[in-house]
Amino acid sequence: MMNHKNLSIVLVGLLAAVSSPALAQQPQSPAVTVPEALGSEGASSGPLTGTVTADAWNDLGIAIASFATNEDVPTAANASGTAALGHELARVVYNDLRNNGLFRPVGPDALPRPSFTQITNPAWPTWRGRSAEMLVQGYVRPNPDGRLTVGCYLYDVVLEDELIRDGWVVAPADWRRAAHRCADMVYSRLSGESPFFDSRIAYIAETGPKENRVKRLAIMDSDGANHRFITNGQSTALTPRYSPDYTRIAYLSYADGNPRIYIYDIDSGRQRLVAETGGPTFAPRWSPDGRYILYSMATAGNTDIYRVPAAGGTPLRLTTSPSIEVGGSYSPDGSQIVFESDQSGTQQCYIMNADGSNQRRISFFGGRCATPEWSPRGDQIAFTHIVGDFHIGVMDTNGRNMRTLTNGWQDEAPTWAPNGRIIQFFRTERNSGETSIWQVDLTGRNERRLNTPVGASDPAWGPVLP
Amino acid sequence: MKKSALIGVAIGVLALAACSKKPPAELPPVQQTGAPSTSTPTPTPAQSTAPAPGSQAHFAAAMSGRDVIYFDTDMYNIDSEDAAALRAQAEYLLQHTSARATVEGHADERGTREYNLALGERRANAAKNYLVSLGVPDARVRVVSYGEERPAATGSNAEAWARNRRAVTVMIQ
């Protein structure tokens, strides 16, 4: 058993090893703060280009060992204490990578548990003997105020070298966020891609028979944890969208008997209409900076797209044709909007400037183009390709290079991961009408169903948490 | 003079719907007096459980199926069968002058959710416009779209989809 004095020495040694000047480089936030002594190592960020090719990084064998703790004490984050929490932290990292088809991870259940002192000083022969190419280790340290410091280290076993480290101070309730940040750190360092695990998803939870289905607004972490129903199901809820800062959700509700968009404030639980219009409003979308909301409104049966300041104000009508114009998704720079219209006779995808000017059709590949969503990277548009059955498709922003990613009976409503590498959508089963959320990566591989407590539709993936 | 104006509006509605593959509907015939063309529900003996005139139960019984009209895929035009049903609805509303109605627009499941909401709006408004063209005051008919969210038939086949592409008129209690 290690006593507190030894641990103090260990800790000093650990902290002393962090000699990088990159203290607290990352922006602070109430939920996750970078501990003073454990800034990210700024010197060696960037993918392993040169040593690992774009195709090869995903084949890396990664060992993810139990996170150690300096002191096994009770914590609000785990009924069994900080040592058990360390094991759970590693499992979250492992499941993030495994469930998304990233690397060849081996989890803590199948690995020896490193001691606290080994976190900064890996037992290389042990890991080499297990043919691990990469090693993720970490620790959890309880603080006097009840918060937790979580450190995360990525090592190259072959080179016996540290590639990157980071650390976070989190409230006990946010312990999973530290694990997601760790998984993001590993993924970003090895792939060169932007992070995405530390994010949330809003969606519609569905229960009951097809002819009388209850549809409730619900939210969950990107891995399905921390699930919460927001509405009670008394009135049908549809098509949620997180505000970019996660403080609000725009969604459709029949609360007053008509389909109308409400802006729901997550902290206060209050909501208000997106705009005081007489008509029904639907298909809400946020601008990337969160300052505007697009919505579609029907007037005497004709649906067009409008834009209104998110804080309230006078709506601006962006489309005027007598056909149905609906939806709309901003380019990441906010300058353009992709939307759908049936002015040609069938649903097709169009682009316009953010002020409604220069509208032009981009989809000419046969079938229909619906629910277009602009990639956060800016270079692709995902959409529902209707060719009898419904499939998820992606295309360049000029409508070229269309590719179909899924092959279900009815796959629709794509939403992008924050880094633009994965798409979620919902799938409806023939006859039963059962719905479920699925995801697929941009190559069309790693298709999998997400675990949700009940039926699920209309996923809306938010950005990486602030 | 009033009738010709109504017919003119009806022609306009029909002309808008001319893109349908269905044949154009015939013009609404000249109405008789206000007498309802359907029989009133038979009074139940003893208790006074007969639905009140203008109530949803009374309306549904009087319409016997003509409270619903159906549409082709992606269409929202009023064909001759729809027109006959809407005429019966209009007669009812003109006879029961305090009754107010909601026209609910629906779509089948073979569309995307938001487009179907817009399509349901189109259908409900097409039905409402026809009722208004027959003299029903605009203020007495509201519309709501349920998109594909409230199917009447739950199968995933052509027959079920045809039953779900509909506009349903219900009395506001």
Provide the residue range defining the domain that includes A301. Answer: 199-464
pLDDT attached to residue A8: 30
pLDDT attached to residue A33: 56
Kindly report the nearest CA distance between residue A380 and chain B, in angstroms. Answer: 20
Kindly report the nearest CA distance between residue A211 and chain B, in angstroms. Answer: 5
Please tell me which of the candidates B110, B126, B150 has its beta carbon nearest to residue A301: B126
Last residue of a domain, one of A173, A191, A209: A191
User: Which tens digit of pLDDT belongs to each residue from A146-166?
Assistant: 999 999 999 999 999 999 999
pLDDT attached to residue A57: 84
CATH code at position A141: 3.40.50.10070
pLDDT attached to residue A55: 52
Do A324 and B115 count as a contact with CB atoms less than 8 A apart? yes
pLDDT attached to residue A32: 58
Q: In which element (H, E) is residue B125 found?
A: helix B113-133
User: For residue B147, which residues of chain A lie inside 8 Å, CB to CB?
Assistant: 259
Contact B169/A at CB under 8 A: no
- Find the residue in A nearest to B129 (Cα): A300
Contact A255/B at CB under 8 A: no
pLDDT attached to residue A12: 28
Do A386 and B112 count as a contact with CB atoms less than 8 A apart? yes
Q: Which two tokens stand for residue A23?
A: 């203290």
Do A390 and A340 belong to one domain? yes
Amino acid at position A240, single letter:
P
pTM as predicted: 0.85
Among A residues 15-54, those touching chain B with beta carbons less than 8 Å apart: none
Contact A349/B at CB under 8 A: no
User: Which tens digit of pLDDT belongs to each residue from B113-163?
Assistant: 999 999 999 999 999 999 999 999 999 999 999 999 999 999 999 999 999
Do A259 and B145 count as a contact with CB atoms less than 8 A apart? yes
Domain count along chain A: 2
- Find the residue in A nearest to B160 (Cα): A431
CA distances from B3 to A149, B8, B31, B136 (A): 81, 9, 9, 13
Which among A203, A204, A210, A432 is the top mutation candidate for probing chain B, defined by the most B β-carbons within 10 Å of its own β-carbon?
A210
- Find the residue in B nearest to A383 (Cα): B112
Please tell me which of the candidates A282, A431, A458 has its beta carbon nearest to residue B117: A282
pLDDT attached to residue A277: 86
Give the CATH number of domain B2-23+51-172.
Answer: 3.30.1330.60
Do A61 and A179 belong to one domain? yes
The better pLDDT of the pair A1, B7 is held by B7
Contact B74/A at CB under 8 A: yes
- Three-state SS at B73: coil
- Find the residue in B nearest to A324 (Cα): B118
User: For residue B126, which residues of chain A lie inside 8 Å, CB to CB?
Assistant: 301
Last residue of a domain, one of A147, A171, A191: A191
Do B144 and A258 count as a contact with CB atoms less than 8 A apart? yes
Interface ipTM: 0.88
- Count the neighbouring beta carbons within 10 Å of the beta carbon of residue B159: 9
Do A371 and B114 count as a contact with CB atoms less than 8 A apart? yes
Spans in chain A with pLDDT lower than 50: 1-30, 36-54
- Identify the sign of the CA torsion A24, A29, A30, A33: negative
Contact A458/B at CB under 8 A: yes
User: Which tens digit of pLDDT belongs to each residue from B12-28?
Assistant: 443 333 333 343 344 34
Do A333 and A373 belong to one domain? yes
pLDDT attached to residue A360: 98
Q: What percent of chain B has pLDDT over 90?
A: 71
Do A340 and B115 count as a contact with CB atoms less than 8 A apart? yes
Contact A310/B at CB under 8 A: no
CATH code at position A356: 2.120.10.30
Do A220 and A117 belong to one domain? no
User: Which tens digit of pLDDT belongs to each residue from A273-324?
Assistant: 998 888 899 999 999 999 999 999 999 999 999 999 999 999 999 999 999 9
Do A125 and A17 belong to one domain? yes
Do A229 and A264 belong to one domain? yes
Model confidence band, residue B173 (pLDDT cutoffs 50, 70, 90): confident
Contact B172/A at CB under 8 A: no
